[in-house]
């Protein structure tokens, strides 16, 4: 029976050229984050169904790859519901497993705990171009740090990493869930309607002020509330210091410390950043996940079509596992997006070792073979990559293929006719 | 609702200390294998059920984590068999996915193709100490190389890597499936009984010659065949050049080239090896997987209780996917075993960057905070790992914990009382 050659639907094989870039990026990421005191941890790819379905994952909870129970004989005849068959699933993000990990190991970890996770996650999204059902996420998180030092360090670490990967001229957009809520409250929206309002606000980038206004009205919101809300965004456009202006407008709706906190994050990042980017206050920034409780931020690369990562503060999630809230804040790089951009821009990996190929004629054996291998061993010792292979019948094609794979030197070894 | 803190049954969280060692080892492995011309590839963790169940996985096929179908509404009421619900599973090894990958991409790859894979695999083994249901495998394979240059390069690459990870004094044991078969044929066993005979032979290490003899007889094998078989092993004990002696004995049962091939592998490896180990012919070496067709080998570290990896030639597996056989040979390091040994022996990672912690008193803000962060940024630029964190109430405990985490320098920053 011939077997199936293609990968499973929506997942992909990664070939050497892309893998080399991925390995290089992971190396830079680990080294740079390490310099900021983030240390790697790992959790299993399989997670308890009840944790995945804990309402922390939003829409992702609908996209879980579920795994049949093991260790008991499954009775299909009697199974009436999924829970009779399934008790685990593939993780759809790294945040839920991180929080479980922290709940399980807090006593063994430093406080605050700074974690780096690079790992695959799975989502059964409808397959489409450039979007896969298995993809890598790259998250840093700080647990146990209530002050905005967490946000400052997360933003500096992430932007330094992006800089070292060759990115520049991008934007970090920052907002606070509390500002979003205060603006909605000030305008007269009811608390139950916030989620709907924010989903519409999130489209500002695409449909503009007029579009947001029209869609809010279409959703049946009060004209006065919509007008008051939109006035805030119009007013902000002309302000140099939008945060101060807004804080004054929202007096009575917004805690004083939110303004001071955001300003300090922006000022500190500007003063100490190690790469070329802007950090800007963006009151239209929403971020989808409902678990965020405070600051939210996003990497914007308009030249590459949008967001390349984001994060924020989620102070209530650990409490879901332990009963005791722990302040938490994280930043995730859109790893697959970054790789795609670098590939499309023909990024050249710096400092790669030289690649040599030694092609040996068929029939070269014994001492002659040993001599060639010994020479390769010496070059390897010195850091050169040496491929030792038999010469193919079609030597020309073989050499072309090797050149394509980055082998800049090719030597040929023939059987000694005198022996 | 409190969520579940423990990882799923049989899988484990990996804490920073172990992750640091794993990352270090992966770095050494990738660099060393790279110098031998092995380049990384990756396949999805999820594989087609029909590929996993293709009889290439032996006993592992009973241990598959199966994944519910996606993209169609599952009807539990009507499902009568597992295939109605399941179409994919988590891979139990990296060889089946590699062969599928090669079948799918052969036109885009160099010939011969040298692949490095480091990735997780899953087996629903009965949970037991030191054995996990998710674990990392680390395989190199050469596809398209019929000559024993493949074996030589695989053994050199693997042993060089082990040497760079600090291992020495180990053994590479080597045998050939064709010798195993010739010895059984010469003794008079029928071809159908080979598998049973080899399973018993595989216990030689533990039960000795007498034990193997007794168990063969207990299984109903002919006394004369058992005696003749055991005479071969007894005879080998006193031979300096076991391969030649055996080849002579097995004349008519063993192709001449097997002897020459094995001898050339052993001689070439001895002449060009870059680390401290022995390579020895071991006619009792069996290796479990039935897909092996020629040479088989194993890393023996008796001081650490046995095998730390192995491999061999499997020239018939690609043909299962494509209809055309392609010579193939691979070597797998027992990654988890290696990590366990290194942890138990207190391995110290060389060349680690210095770790400093800057502890900042609560209330330090504005320009003072920026000054501390700017100093950290400068040190990071120079390669130091700098953790910037708020001072905890229990500063003494915090500093102890940091020291445990490898922070050798701790500086404290207080609010300037003069301001």
To test the contact with chain A by mutation, choose from B113, B272, B352, B407 the residue with the greatest count of A C-beta atoms within 10 A, namely: B272
Helix (H, G, I), strand (E, B) or coil at B86: strand
The answer to whether the CB of B50 falls within 8 A of the CB of A398 is no
Residues 6+ apart with CB under 8 A from B77: none
Residues of B in contact with A392 (CB under 8 A): 111
Structure tokens at A111: 């406080």
- Quick one: closest CA in B to A380, which residue? B35
Q: Could you count the other beta carbons within 10 Å of the beta carbon of residue A323?
A: 9
Tens digits of residue pLDDT in A10-68:
999 999 999 999 999 999 999 999 999 999 999 999 999 999 998 877 888 999 999 99
Backbone angles phi, psi at A131, to 5 degrees: -125, 120
Tell which residue, B305, B284, B297, B296, has the closest CA to residue B177. Answer: B296
| Confidence at residue A417, expressed as pLDDT on a 0 to 100 scale | 65
**What residues in chain A have per-residue pLDDT under 50?**
none
The answer to whether the CB of A317 falls within 8 A of the CB of A95 is yes
Residues 6+ apart with CB under 8 A from B40: A16, A19, A20, A23, B30, B115, B116, B117, B118
Order of strands, sheet of B409-413, starting from the edge strand that comes earlier in the sequence: B385-390, B355-360, B409-413
Distance from CA of A288 to the nearest CA of B (A): 23
| Confidence at residue B289, expressed as pLDDT on a 0 to 100 scale | 75
The crossing angle, in degrees rounded to 10, of helices B194-201 and B204-218 is 140
Angle at B382 between CA B376 and CA B386, to 5 degrees: 35
Distance from CA of A315 to the nearest CA of B (A): 16
Distance from CA of A211 to the nearest CA of B (A): 34
Name the DSSP letter for residue A324.
S
In whole angstroms, what is the distance from residue B242 CA to residue B237 CA?
8
Cross-chain residue pair B13–A43, CB shorter than 8 Å: yes
Cross-chain residue pair A387–B27, CB shorter than 8 Å: no
Distance from CA of B305 to the nearest CA of A (A): 27
Compute CA A72 distance to the chain's CA centroid, rounded to the nearest angstrom: 37
The answer to whether the CB of B167 falls within 8 A of the CB of B301 is yes
* 3-state percent breakdown (helix, strand, coil) of chain B, nearest 5: 45, 20, 35
Cross-chain residue pair B160–A380, CB shorter than 8 Å: yes
- Quick one: closest CA in B to A15, which residue? B41
Compute CA B2 distance to the chain's CA centroid, rounded to the nearest angstrom: 38
Residues of B in contact with A153 (CB under 8 A): 373, 388
- Quick one: closest CA in A to B64, which residue? A70
Cβ-defined contacts of B251-257 (< 8 Å, 24+): B253/B182, B253/B183, B253/B185, B253/B186, B254/B178, B254/B179, B254/B182, B255/B178
Tens digits of residue pLDDT in B296-349:
999 999 777 778 999 999 999 999 888 899 999 999 999 999 999 999 999 999
Distance from CA of A237 to the nearest CA of B (A): 27
* DSSP assignment of A357-400: EEEE-TT--HHHHHHHHHHHHHHHHTT-EEEEEEPPSSHHHHHH
| Confidence at residue B225, expressed as pLDDT on a 0 to 100 scale | 96
Order of strands, sheet of B328-333, starting from the edge strand that comes earlier in the sequence: B39-40, B113-122, B134-143, B328-333, B306-313, B295-301, B170-176, B277-281
Tell which residue, B204, B199, B247, has the closest CA to residue B58. Answer: B199
Order of strands, sheet of A113-122, starting from the edge strand that comes earlier in the sequence: A39-40, A113-122, A134-143, A328-333, A306-313, A295-301, A170-176, A277-281
Give the residue carrying structure tokens 């009421």.
B77
Half-sphere exposure of A373 (CA within 13 A, CB side): 29
Backbone angles phi, psi at B278, to 5 degrees: -110, 145
Cross-chain residue pair B43–A13, CB shorter than 8 Å: yes
| Global ipTM | 0.94
Positive or negative torsion for Cα B134, B140, B146, B149? negative
Cross-chain residue pair B271–A86, CB shorter than 8 Å: no
Tell which residue, A175, A178, A218, has the closest CA to residue A196. Answer: A218
- DSSP H helical segments within A219-365, as ranges? 223-237, 242-249, 256-272, 317-322, 335-344
Maximum Cα–Cα distance across chain B: 99
| Confidence at residue B57, expressed as pLDDT on a 0 to 100 scale | 79
Tens digits of residue pLDDT in B280-295:
999 999 998 778 999 9
**What residues in chain B have per-residue pLDDT under 70?**
1-2, 71-74, 417-419
User: What residues are paired with B36 via a beta bridge?
Assistant: none
Q: Could you count the other beta carbons within 10 Å of the beta carbon of residue A400?
A: 11
In whole angstroms, what is the distance from residue B194 CA to residue A128 CA?
50
Residues of A in contact with B156 (CB under 8 A): 373, 377
In whole angstroms, what is the distance from residue A287 CA to residue A266 CA?
19
Query: How far is residue A10 from each of residues A128, A135, A340, measured CA to CA in Å?
Result: 8, 10, 17
User: What residues are paired with A128 via a beta bridge?
Assistant: A131
| Confidence at residue A73, expressed as pLDDT on a 0 to 100 scale | 67
Distance from CA of B276 to the nearest CA of A (A): 14
Tens digits of residue pLDDT in A89-129:
999 999 999 999 999 999 999 999 999 999 999 999 987 87
Cross-chain residue pair B4–A374, CB shorter than 8 Å: no
Cross-chain residue pair B100–A392, CB shorter than 8 Å: no
Nearest to A68 among B5, B80, B86 (CB): B86
| Confidence at residue A418, expressed as pLDDT on a 0 to 100 scale | 56
Tell which residue, A155, A44, A163, has the closest CA to residue A104. Answer: A44
Distance from CA of A50 to the nearest CA of B (A): 7
User: What average pLDDT does the structure give for chain A?
Assistant: 93
- Quick one: closest CA in B to A362, which residue? B147
Cross-chain residue pair B13–A44, CB shorter than 8 Å: yes
Backbone angles phi, psi at A119, to 5 degrees: -165, 165
Cross-chain residue pair B383–A35, CB shorter than 8 Å: yes
Structure tokens at A388: 């030792």
Strands A66-68 and A86-90: antiparallel
């Amino acid at each position: 029976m011939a077997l199936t050659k293609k990968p499973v639907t929506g997942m992909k094989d990664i070939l050497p050229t892309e893998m080399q870039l991925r390995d290089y990026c992971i190396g830079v990421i680990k080294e740079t984050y390490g310099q900021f005191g983030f240390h790697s941890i790992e959790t299993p790819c399989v997670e308890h169904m009840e944790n995945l379905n804990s309402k922390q994952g939003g829409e992702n909870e609908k996209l879980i790859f579920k795994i049949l129970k093991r260790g008991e004989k499954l009775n299909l005849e009697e199974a009436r519901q999924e829970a009779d068959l399934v008790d685990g699933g593939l993780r759809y993000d790294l945040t839920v497993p991180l929080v479980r990990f922290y709940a399980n190991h807090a006593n063994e970890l430093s406080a605050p705990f700074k974690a780096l996770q690079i790992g695959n996650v799975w989502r059964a999204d409808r397959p489409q171009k450039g979007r896969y059902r298995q993809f890598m996420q790259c998250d840093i998180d700080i647990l146990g740090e209530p002050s905005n030092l967490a946000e400052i360090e997360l933003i500096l670490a992430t932007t330094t990493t992006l800089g070292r990967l060759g990115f520049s001229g991008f934007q970090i957009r920052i907002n606070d869930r509390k500002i979003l809520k205060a603006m909605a409250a000030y305008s007269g929206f009811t608390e139950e309607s916030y989620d709907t309002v924010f989903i519409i606000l999130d489209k500002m980038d695409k449909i503009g002020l007029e579009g947001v206004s029209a869609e809010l009205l279409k959703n049946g919101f009060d004209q006065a509330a919509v007008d008051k809300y939109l006035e805030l965004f119009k007013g902000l456009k002309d302000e140099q210091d939008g945060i101060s202006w807004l804080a004054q407008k929202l007096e009575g709706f917004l805690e004083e410390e939110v303004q001071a906190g955001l300003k300090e994050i922006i000022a500190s990042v500007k003063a100490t950043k190690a790469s070329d980017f802007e950090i800007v206050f963006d009151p239209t920034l929403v971020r989808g996940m409902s678990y965020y409780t405070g600051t939210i931020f996003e990497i914007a690369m308009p030249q590459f079509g949008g967001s390349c990562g984001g994060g924020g503060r989620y102070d209530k999630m650990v409490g879901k596992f332990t009963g005791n809230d722990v302040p938490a804040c994280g930043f995730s790089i859109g790893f697959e997006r970054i790789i795609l951009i670098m590939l499309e821009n023909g990024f050249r990996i710096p400092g790669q070792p030289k690649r040599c190929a030694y092609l040996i004629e068929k029939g070269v054996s014994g001492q002659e073979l040993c001599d060639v291998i010994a020479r390769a061993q010496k070059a390897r010792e010195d850091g050169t990559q040496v491929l030792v292979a038999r010469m193919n019948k079609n030597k020309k094609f073989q050499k072309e293929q090797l050149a394509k794979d980055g082998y800049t030197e090719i030597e040929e070894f023939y059987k000694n006719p005198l022996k």
